[in-house]
A and B are shown apart, each in its own frame.
Chain A
């Protein structure tokens, strides 16, 4: 596939240069009485190309929507996510209507009113009514969008601390993530990078009694339908915790704690078995199979088949391995989650073990 594409590129480049050299020849021979200002003939030709271009553009837009809409993420796996998706679809619908109309007018006028000798243009300098119309229409539409958007925004961002939420810390470092669960007391122990020492890689304050039952994990497990309040902390540079499947993102800033809260609604298992994901994974595995054949022909190892898991990724440039800073997320039924969490070692136990070993 890749080789084929390279050949296509080279062929296209060849054609480009060939065409260019032809044009150069043409442009040189005809320069005898050419003022280099567009003539009626140029106006006509360019107007027709303009028409051709707008047709190309519409076909291309259609092709993109037809072929690439499937790239859009699956159904949101969080409670607020469906609101997000609705707002997104309304906005895209709206801007595509404006796009289709204005691009048509622009290019069609450019075609229709092509210049001809002797034709008189209309001296039309001002019209307050028109200006008013196209000021007020965007105002109304945008007012609607702004109000709708802001309601959704405050819904998503305002966390009711009294509600029954589970507090989880997401800890970022070059180049990985850790999750810290707050334990029975649902309160995270104090922490600062200055406490980092030995096994205490997250810099948790040993003397803080809230810290004893904190649990640190390299995978993020979440119970389904339970609101989680994430507290983000970074050890070194800016990172951004991006949960695309949950329509959630928050920067992770060294020196301060940021937060975001959402409620996962679809378990990993359900997502894997969803129609969208089954199709997607099948397609990806076909691509990987083809690629593996290529790799093995070169004597490299084949790629593993892909199985879908939710992930958290870093979305703020953070250094050389920024492109591979991820953490697996597992959304599961509450009992499965409880089972998993009890198996994890608490911070108090980790520290006690270390004392013994001394």
Chain B
């Protein structure tokens, strides 16, 4: 290898590196721009979704927050997501804790079964639930929607809590038992405080699963249970004005806050 060749190589490497950096920054921008771009549009003074903005105003926020339809949808979403979180979190937490103590063979099978809802396309789940629920009177009801969202949300709780439990010291259980503590008491006093970050993250995942769902709501919810994403979906297909962008902005904000909470919970994790 002579000197010119190696300096040529150095130059081409540098050019390659620069191109690579440009390419990667472009991809990063591709990822973030659409999400960011909708936010200013929600402040547009005119009913258009184009840049440059005609002026800045809060009129679309006023429209959304005085509209019966949007407020009703917001309320439905909050009811369903809260109930889903409150049911899915304990169910998933207990199951994850139990799973850890099963034989590895049983555990694999049961885990596979419990995580199944993650693998099945949403439309298939929605159809299956619609067919079954309409037979037992659960279609077009809050209860049906909450059950459906809980089924989709529990796998997230199981996985998140299991991840925290991986670093759990099982000798603590024996120590507690030898001190005369019953299993329930041990769980509440010993286990729960240690795995709390995982439980909180799992709960947040459960909330966002329900909060973001549109397909299940489209299939099995009635007009009384119309959620925010469902209202947004019909809005997108018929009247695309900045009020949709207000709701989009709101949903982005909720996602960001929840993501931050998960991040904080992980940081506080003792592991």
> Do A and B originate from a single complex?
no
